[in-house]
């Protein structure tokens, strides 16, 4: 349990009473109780109120806010307010303000607008947190700490450059080594003095790609290191606060709100320093339930499947999206249960009362501008609150059951998308998601894991587009397969080392022996120019179609071992008839290779074939698209979540008698699930 003091699914969210007069606070509490809200996240953006000047701190309002909630039985997720420093501070100490990628010094404004390497920023943030922790770390209402808010701003200032040089000295020791790793002989970039090293901005090595407009670079090695350095620098800001809080009370868990597949920060590294992962889920209208599940799984994977916090979601609209669509009736409830199904032990909103001004005035909230409970949104929030309260602690702490995993790697993401060539159409997150989707739709139970995680607990591990493979990773993968694991990888894998230097001797060098193939060259064509995967005779009966589409990248593959077989061949171009999908028996396991961007139909059928060939039972059988089945397990007890994400009635067979924890009803055999309905079935 995240904190056993509140043995329920935590229900509440961001609350900013400092925007309102105290008359409203009373009404807030009345409405929170009505909605069964048991936690409020406070103090997210209050630094300017807490510290009106350099020498004055004032906690009187925060005291009152916390007291008002606590005397009404509402617990606190206590934020530290350090995402947005006071205006006076930026003016008095301009070194706090960051330099952006254009090389421009920022002025004060907005949020997360500070240089992560500013000693003054860290000093003031630390001092504030020291005072907050001193005052509230042992307050009975505080369940969890929420450091800053949505970290992520990279800085390119002189101060960061200096720190970067020191970071590089520690990493490489000598300039000789650095020049080698960065491959600086290319274009006469040799560095003779540490002080020559600068930051990768649009004034130096970054540029917007002339064709796509995407941010691109001509200094792969350096940029990769700068991303690593920035992710670490920002993490140090978090740790600065974390360590102070822990001094005052080590037992209260500490988190910061993450953002899903967010490129600037290597969240696997971050999660090592978080007591619980929390994240903010704001799906776009175009995201289907599998895309949402993918992001939840990624966040769950950061701490190896431990329950996480859904820190924020909107009850209805999201103001910053291009079109602020309304969550249709029952969708907020459905998506809340989806988060729980995927491993969340909290359901929290941004925000509890809708702001009157500012950019988020049209963001959804539990209490809307109407100001009372007679709204559709409030009534839905209230119903869900009642239900979650009734669930008590039954599912708290249970873990999602998964037999398969896809690997997601931030450093690989950075390297792959910074590479010029082979294609500007490559989208790493989308690529990983396409394999996640195929596993998910086959109901295999999927985790998203990091490169350092244990592979051995999974029957299948998929590493899509694992362009960068460190030597030890290649060894780990081979070991996994040797012992009987099923491994799937794809085109653009095993090409470079951790400095983006190509492995010589034939692609994909570190995985060549495992896969039993040699990729002689890879063709890249515009997305609309397709080829086909034609299933070979031996595998024909295992696939529902004879040919499937593929596009973007086309590996020209040679089979190198007797143990390797071709599952599919190209039907067109000069490589017609050559293998595109292969499988190699290696030790006690098998290694599959998909040498192109294959259609979803193909990936789905391939996973189906793999599960059949290696006798991996799906969690459930015959489940139509749109129905999500996820299982969480605690003390050998299985909770099966059935979520109908469609607007139609769906039928599935649930086998023997089960009780729905939400309605209390008993179900058996073939059942109907109403549109957007949810069941949590207990054996
Ligand atoms: C983020 C932030 C919140 C708020 C919401 C609005 O998740 O953490 O402060 O701005 O977005 O969607
Ligand atoms: Zn800086």
Mean pLDDT in residue range 448-461 = 98
Task: Give the model's pLDDT for residue 224.
Answer: 98
User: Which ligand sits closest to the CA of 233?
Assistant: 2
Residue 160: φ, ψ to 5°:
-65, -40
Nearest CA to ligand 1 atom 7: 280
Question: Is a pLDDT exceeding 90 seen at residue 435?
Answer: yes
Read off the tokens for 38: 């048991």
The band of 211, judged by pLDDT with boundaries at 50, 70 and 90, is confident
pTM value? 0.98
**Which range of residues forms the domain containing residue 677?**
627-682
Judge if the upstream peptide bond of residue 402 is cis by omega within 30 degrees of 0.
no
The band of 535, judged by pLDDT with boundaries at 50, 70 and 90, is very high
Mean pLDDT in residue range 579-592 = 99
Question: Is a pLDDT exceeding 90 seen at residue 651?
Answer: yes
Q: Please, which residues have CB less than 5 A from ligand 2, an ion?
A: 115, 117, 155, 157, 159-160
218-257 residue pLDDT tens: 999 999 999 999 999 999 999 999 999 999 999 999 999 9
Q: Which residue has the higher pLDDT, 210 or 292?
A: 292
d(CA 128, CA 526): 53
Do residues 83 and 96 both lie within one domain? yes
CA distances from 267 to 138, 167, 353, 410, 437 (A): 29, 20, 30, 8, 22
CATH code where residue 574 lies: 3.40.50.880
Question: Is a pLDDT exceeding 90 seen at residue 674?
Answer: yes
CATH code where residue 643 lies: 2.60.40.1180
317-361 residue pLDDT tens: 999 999 999 999 999 999 999 999 999 999 999 999 999 999 999
Task: Give the model's pLDDT for residue 210.
Answer: 87
Do residues 421 and 338 both lie within one domain? no
Query: Which candidate in 241, 312, 417, 628 is catalytic?
Result: 312
Do residues 242 and 318 both lie within one domain? yes
Residue 305: φ, ψ to 5°:
90, 0
Instruction: Report the atom number in ligand 1 closest to the C-alpha of 314.
Output: 12
d(CA 639, CA 632): 5
**Is the dihedral angle over the CA atoms 638, 644, 649, 650 positive or is it negative?**
negative
Mean pLDDT in residue range 193-208 = 97
* Domain-embedded: residue 621: no
Do residues 557 and 537 both lie within one domain? yes
CATH code where residue 115 lies: 3.20.20.80
- Nearest residue to 74 (alpha-carbon basis) of 366, 334, 359, 319: 366
Total number of domains constituting the chain:
4
Question: Is a pLDDT exceeding 90 seen at residue 30?
Answer: yes
* Domain-embedded: residue 669: yes
The band of 587, judged by pLDDT with boundaries at 50, 70 and 90, is very high
Of 587, 613, 639, the one marking the end of a domain is 613
Beta-strand pair 517-524/531-535: unpaired
* Domain-embedded: residue 213: yes
CB 36 within 8 A of CB 11: yes
* Domain-embedded: residue 445: yes
d(CA 33, CA 12): 10
Mutate which of 149, 281, 353, 357 for ligand 1? The one with the most ligand atoms within 8 Å of its CB, which is 149
Task: Give the model's pLDDT for residue 15.
Answer: 98
* Domain-embedded: residue 336: yes
Angle at 233 between CA 95 and CA 146, to 5 degrees: 95
Mean pLDDT in residue range 595-602 = 98
Mean pLDDT in residue range 193-209 = 97
Do residues 20 and 67 both lie within one domain? yes
85-122 residue pLDDT tens: 999 999 999 999 999 999 999 999 999 999 999 999 99
Q: What is the mean pLDDT of the chain?
A: 98
Q: Strands (DSSP E) along 356-472, which ranges?
A: 399-400, 404-407, 446-449, 460-463
d(CA 483, CA 481): 5
* Domain-embedded: residue 281: yes
269-299 residue pLDDT tens: 999 999 999 999 999 999 999 999 999 999 9
* Domain-embedded: residue 104: yes
CB of residue 267 inside a 6 A radius of ligand 1: no
Mutate which of 112, 280, 320, 359 for ligand 1? The one with the most ligand atoms within 8 Å of its CB, which is 280
3-state secondary structure 273-288: CCCCCEEECCCCCCCC
* Domain-embedded: residue 2: no
Of 201, 225, 249, the one marking the end of a domain is 225
**Is the dihedral angle over the CA atoms 506, 508, 511, 517 positive or is it negative?**
negative
- Nearest residue to 8 (alpha-carbon basis) of 308, 368, 390: 390
Read off the tokens for 578: 């050559």
């Amino acid at each position: 349990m995240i904190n056993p003091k509140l043995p329920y699914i935590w229900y509440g969210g961001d609350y900013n009473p400092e925007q309102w007069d105290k008359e409203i606070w009373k009404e807030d509490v009345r409405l929170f109780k009505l909605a069964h809200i048991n936690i409020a996240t406070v103090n997210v953006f209050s630094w300017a109120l807490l510290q009106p000047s350099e020498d004055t701190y004032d906690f009187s309002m925060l005291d009152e806010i916390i007291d008002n909630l606590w005397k009404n039985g509402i617990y606190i997720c206590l934020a530290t307010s350090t995402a947005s420093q006071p205006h006076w501070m930026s003016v008095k100490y301009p070194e706090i303000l960051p330099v952006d990628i254009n090389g421009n010094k920022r002025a004060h404004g907005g949020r997360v607008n500070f240089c992560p390497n500013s000693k003054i920023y860290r000093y003031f943030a630390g001092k504030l947190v020291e005072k907050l922790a001193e005052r509230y770390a042992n307050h009975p209402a505080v369940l969890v700490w929420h450091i800053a808010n949505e970290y992520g701003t990279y800085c390119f200032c002189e101060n960061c450059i200096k720190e970067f040089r020191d970071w590089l000295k520690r990493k490489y020791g000598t300039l000789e080594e650095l020049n080698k790793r960065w491959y600086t002989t290319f274009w006469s970039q040799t560095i003779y003095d540490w002080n020559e090293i600068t930051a990768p901005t649009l004034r130096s090595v970054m540029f917007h790609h002339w064709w796509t407009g995407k941010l691109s670079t001509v200094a792969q090695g350096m940029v990769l290191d700068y991303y690593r350095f920035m992710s670490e620098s920002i993490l140090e800001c978090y740790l600065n606060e974390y360590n102070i809080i822990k001094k005052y009370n080590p037992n209260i868990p500490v988190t910061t709100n993450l953002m899903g597949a967010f490129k600037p920060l290597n969240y696997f590294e971050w999660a090592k320093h978080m007591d619980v992962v929390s994240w903010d889920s704001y799906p776009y209208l175009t995201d289907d339930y599998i895309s949402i599940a993918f992001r939840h799984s990624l966040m769950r994977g950061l701490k190896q499947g431990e329950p996480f916090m859904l820190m924020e979601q909107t009850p209805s609209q999201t103001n910053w999206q291009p079109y602020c669509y309304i969550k249709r009736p029952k969708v907020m409830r459905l998506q809340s249960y989806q988060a729980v199904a995927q491993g969340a032990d909290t359901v929290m909103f941004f925000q509890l009362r809708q702001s009157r001004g500012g950019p988020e005035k049209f963001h959804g909230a539990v209490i809307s501008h109407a100001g009372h409970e007679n709204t559709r949104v409030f009534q839905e929030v209230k119903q869900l609150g009642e239900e979650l309260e009734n669930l008590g602690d039954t599912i708290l702490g249970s873990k999602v059951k998964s037999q398969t995993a896809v690997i997601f790697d931030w450093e690989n993401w950075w390297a792959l998308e910074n590479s010029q060539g082979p294609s500007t159409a490559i989208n790493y997150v989308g690529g990983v998601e396409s394999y996640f989707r195929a596993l998910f739709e086959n109901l295999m139970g999927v985790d998203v894991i990091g490169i350092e995680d244990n592979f051995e607990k999974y029957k299948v591990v998929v590493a899509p587009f694992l362009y960068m493979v460190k030597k030890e990773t290649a060894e780990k993968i081979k070991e996994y397969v040797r012992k009987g694991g099923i491994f799937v990888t794809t085109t653009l894998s095993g090409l470079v080392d951790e400095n983006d230097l190509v492995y010589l001797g034939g692609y994909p060098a570190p995985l060549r022996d495992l896969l039993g193939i040699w990729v002689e060259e890879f063709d890249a064509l515009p997305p609309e120019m397709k080829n086909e995967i034609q299933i070979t005779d031996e595998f024909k009966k295992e696939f529902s179609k004879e040919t499937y589409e593929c596009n973007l990248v086309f590996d020209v593959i040679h089979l190198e071992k007797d143990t390797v077989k071709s599952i599919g061949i190209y039907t067109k171009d000069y490589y017609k008839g050559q293998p595109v999908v292969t499988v190699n028996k290696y030790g006690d396991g098998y290694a599959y290779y998909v040498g192109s961007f294959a259609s979803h139909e193909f990936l789905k059928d391939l996973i189906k074939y793999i599960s059949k060939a290696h006798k991996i039972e799906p969690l459930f059988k015959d489940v139509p698209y749109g129905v999500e089945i996820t299982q969480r397990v605690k003390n050998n007890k299985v909770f099966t979540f059935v979520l109908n994400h469609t607007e139609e009635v769906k039928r599935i067979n649930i086998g023997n008698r089960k009780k729905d924890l939400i309605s209390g009803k008993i179900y058996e055999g073939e059942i109907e699930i109403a549109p957007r309905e949810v069941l949590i079935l207990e054996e």
